[in-house]
């Protein structure tokens, strides 16, 4: 069974890898037309606020992070004011965010390191960003892209799924997908590709039941198992069946089942 699954996966990967450059271009054209100026859904006003929000968003929803930062940022939104809260002081503000104990330690460590090593400013180099507590490659890529204008494409679970399903950038792990996206995404769309693909994965190309019938790139996507339009709801079907049964009974003829 495992061998069969592996052969099937390899075959599908081979098909997806052949996506034509013109198809990729058309996909991004449509995504841009639908959302010309995409951005993150994390609330922020400064580079440091964005860094904090992205770091907190690991393994939790943007909604939860926004609920926490709406309370935290009016009180503390700079490295100095965050560091002054201390680990125990910051915990009550982020307790509804997943893994908040670990994130509280990382947040204070991050703020202190920015103060000590970077003069209180968010660094603009990948190595310096990834050296901060709680900051990995994905977070660093987002900051480099949004704050410093670098054409980086951070890959999260949504983008990993969309890239593989559609055939835009097949890969076995996030690094492979990132490399393929950087290589194959047309230059004019690379800056915003992260947001387009993330939002598409979050709201359209979802994990369990992608909305293929209403997807704006359905005809360009190479996913083999596209979902079909939903039939009439069960309730509507039952009502229609009841109406037919009633009509048949009154007419004195056998009911014709659909």
CA-based Rg of the chain, rounded to a whole angstrom?
Answer: 24
What is the C-alpha separation between 105 and 134, in angstroms, rounded? Answer: 9
Out of 32, 62, 63, 138, the active site residue is 138
Whether residue 129 contacts residue 135, with contact meaning beta carbons closer than 8 Å, is answered with yes
**Does the active-site annotation cover 156?**
yes
- Per-residue b/e over 103-114, b at no fewer than 16 CB within 10 Å? bbebbbebbbbb
Out of 62, 103, 156, 191, the active site residue is 156
* Nearest alpha-carbon partner for 51 in 82, 86, 85: 82
Sign of the four-CA dihedral 237, 239, 243, 245? positive
Whether residue 42 contacts residue 53, with contact meaning beta carbons closer than 8 Å, is answered with yes
What is the C-alpha separation between 192 and 211, in angstroms, rounded? Answer: 22
What is the C-alpha separation between 139 and 174, in angstroms, rounded? Answer: 13
- CA dist 132 → 19, 25, 136 (Å): 38, 36, 8
Distance between alpha carbon 67 and the CA centroid of its chain, in Å? 19
* Nearest alpha-carbon partner for 192 in 19, 35, 26, 22: 35
Instruction: Name the residues annotated as catalytic.
Output: 138, 156
């Amino acid at each position: 069974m495992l061998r069969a699954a592996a052969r099937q996966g390899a075959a599908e990967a081979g098909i997806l890898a052949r996506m034509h450059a013109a198809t990729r271009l058309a996909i991004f054209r449509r995504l841009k037309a639908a959302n010309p100026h995409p951005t993150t859904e994390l609330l922020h006003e400064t580079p440091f606020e964005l860094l904090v929000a992205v770091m907190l968003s690991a393994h939790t929803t943007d909604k939860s992070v926004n609920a926490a930062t709406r309370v935290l940022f009016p009180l503390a939104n700079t490295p100095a004011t965050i560091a002054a809260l201390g680990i125990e002081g910051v915990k009550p503000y982020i307790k509804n965010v997943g893994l908040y104990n670990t994130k509280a330690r990382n947040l204070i460590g991050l703020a202190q390191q920015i103060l000590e090593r970077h003069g209180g400013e968010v660094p603009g180099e990948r190595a310096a960003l990834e050296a901060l507590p709680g900051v990995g490659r994905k977070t660093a890529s987002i900051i480099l892209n949004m704050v410093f204008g670098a054409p980086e494409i951070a890959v999260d679970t949504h983008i990993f799924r969309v890239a593989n399903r559609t055939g835009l950038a097949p890969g076995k792990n996030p690094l492979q997908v990132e490399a393929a996206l950087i290589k194959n995404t047309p230059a004019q769309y690379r800056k915003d590709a992260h947001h387009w693909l993330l939002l598409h994965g979050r709201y359209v190309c979802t994990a369990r039941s992608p909305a293929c019938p209403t997807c704006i790139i359905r005809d360009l996507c190479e996913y083999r198992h596209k979902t079909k339009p939903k039939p009439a709801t069960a309730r509507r079907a039952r009502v229609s069946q009841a109406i037919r049964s009633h009509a048949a009974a009154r007419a004195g003829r056998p009911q014709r089942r659909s």
